[in-house]
């Protein structure tokens, strides 16, 4: 253990006695994950069989149908199935947010921070590519990757827009659901990218943006609609503190039911001397040493009337 590791600031959040396991997991290569695209694949079981032929070590992922975990040194992005849009490569933990939306064919869904389009594609395929998905992205340079992924996967129900999510126009006809995959310090991606410590000022700026995005998403959905908030960071200032900024009469944070065999840690009720709204404990944090994934945080809110 390196006593100067910036991730040690999260030791109070870890299950007792798991600090060394957490830091060790952050240094290990991250397994790859792929899922079958039912819009392109006329016969998903045949594509599954192809995945298993190419990688007999593949194991099912509990977050998503026809999704598989592959060894870290596998390169599914080079497979012909990927080029044809039959499969998509996506980090395992990030498969969960779209699974938490109450999606049905014909729904109207807003993805407020969409690039590179992984979760956008999940939403559209979950709806059978029927309905409307608005994929909004603020950064112009990220639009090409977003459009490429959506076109490769053959998704026709998605409309791409560019703009600041904090100022996304309130629609005359509200969305049924919204996803806020918020920009963050990305501390949960150390297994892919390493880690650079963020300054306190940078964290405060992100928090302001995150709160604005979540508030906007809630305003854009109908009463009774769901909003999923997600980040790939451990920081309660970017997670529970953001949820705490939402008034209890605007939205409730719903309990989550993990798939069998998945170990989640509940949201923390307080951090840095600040007590949060009681239902933040219904959120969930994924630690890399508990499920051999990246680090992730997710919460599902339901807008009140």
State pLDDT tens for residues 46-77.
Answer: 999 999 999 999 999 998 999 999 999 999 99
User: Tell me, what's the pLDDT at 2?
Assistant: 55
pTM of the model: 0.95
| Torsions phi, psi for 63 (to 5 deg) | -75, -25
- Report yes or no: 134 and 167 within 8 Å, Cβ to Cβ: no
> What band does 228 get if pLDDT is binned at 50, 70 and 90?
very high
Q: Is the pLDDT of residue 15 over 90?
A: no
User: Tell me, what's the pLDDT at 1?
Assistant: 45
* Coil, helix or strand at residue 104: coil
CB-based contacts of 247, cutoff 8 Å, min separation 6: none
What is d(CA 272, CA 140) in angstroms, rounded to the nearest whole number?
36
**Which residue is catalytic, options 55, 184, 220, 232?**
232
> What band does 210 get if pLDDT is binned at 50, 70 and 90?
very high
Q: Is the pLDDT of residue 95 over 50?
A: yes
Q: Is the pLDDT of residue 201 over 90?
A: no
* Percentage, residues of the chain above pLDDT 90: 89
> What band does 163 get if pLDDT is binned at 50, 70 and 90?
very high
Q: Could you tell me if residue 129 is left (phi over 0), alpha (psi between -120 and 50 degrees) or otherwise beta?
A: left
CATH of 31-90, one of 3.10.180.10, 3.40.50.11270, 3.40.120.10, 3.30.70.1170: 3.30.70.1170
Kindly state the average pLDDT of the residues 143-153: 98
CATH 3.40.50.150 range(s) for the chain read 15-28+93-303
Comparing 103 with 192, the larger pLDDT belongs to 103
List the end-to-end C-alpha distance of the chain, in Å, as a whole number.
49
CATH 3.40.1280.10 for the 15-28+93-303 domain, yes or no:
no
| Active-site residue, 113 included | no
What is d(CA 51, CA 36) in angstroms, rounded to the nearest whole number?
9
CATH 3.30.70.1170 range(s) for the chain read 31-90
């Amino acid at each position: 253990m390196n006593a100067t590791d910036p991730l040690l600031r999260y030791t109070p959040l870890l299950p007792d006695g798991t600090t060394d396991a957490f830091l060790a997991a952050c240094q290990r290569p991250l397994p790859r994950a792929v899922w079958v695209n039912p819009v392109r694949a006329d016969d998903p079981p045949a594509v599954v069989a192809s995945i298993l032929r190419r990688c007999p070590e593949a194991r099912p992922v509990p977050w998503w149908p026809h999704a598989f975990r592959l060894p870290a040194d596998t390169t599914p992005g080079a497979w012909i199935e990927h080029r044809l849009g039959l499969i998509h490569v996506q980090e395992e933990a990030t498969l969960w947010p779209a699974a938490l939306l109450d999606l049905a064919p014909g729904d109207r869904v807003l993805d407020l921070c969409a690039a590179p389009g992984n979760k956008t594609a999940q939403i559209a395929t979950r709806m059978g590519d029927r309905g409307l998905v608005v994929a909004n992205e603020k950064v112009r340079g990220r639009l090409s990757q977003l459009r490429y992924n959506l076109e490769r996967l053959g998704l026709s129900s998605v409309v791409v827009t560019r703009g600041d999510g904090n100022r996304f126009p309130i629609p005359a006809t509200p969305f049924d659901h919204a996803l806020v995959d918020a920009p963050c310090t990305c501390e949960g991606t150390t297994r892919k990218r390493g880690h650079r410590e963020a300054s306190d000022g940078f964290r405060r700026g992100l928090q302001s943006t995150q709160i604005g995005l979540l508030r906007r998403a809630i305003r854009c959905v109908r009463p009774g609609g769901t909003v999923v908030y997600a980040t790939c960071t451990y920081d309660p200032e970017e997670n529970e503190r953001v949820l705490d900024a939402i008034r209890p009469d605007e939205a409730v944070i719903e309990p989550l039911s993990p798939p069998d065999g998945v170990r989640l840690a509940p949201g923390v009720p307080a951090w840095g001397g600040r007590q949060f709204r009681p239902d933040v404990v219904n959120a969930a944090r994924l630690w890399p040493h508990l499920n051999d994934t990246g680090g992730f945080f997710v919460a599902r809110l339901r807008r009140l009337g």
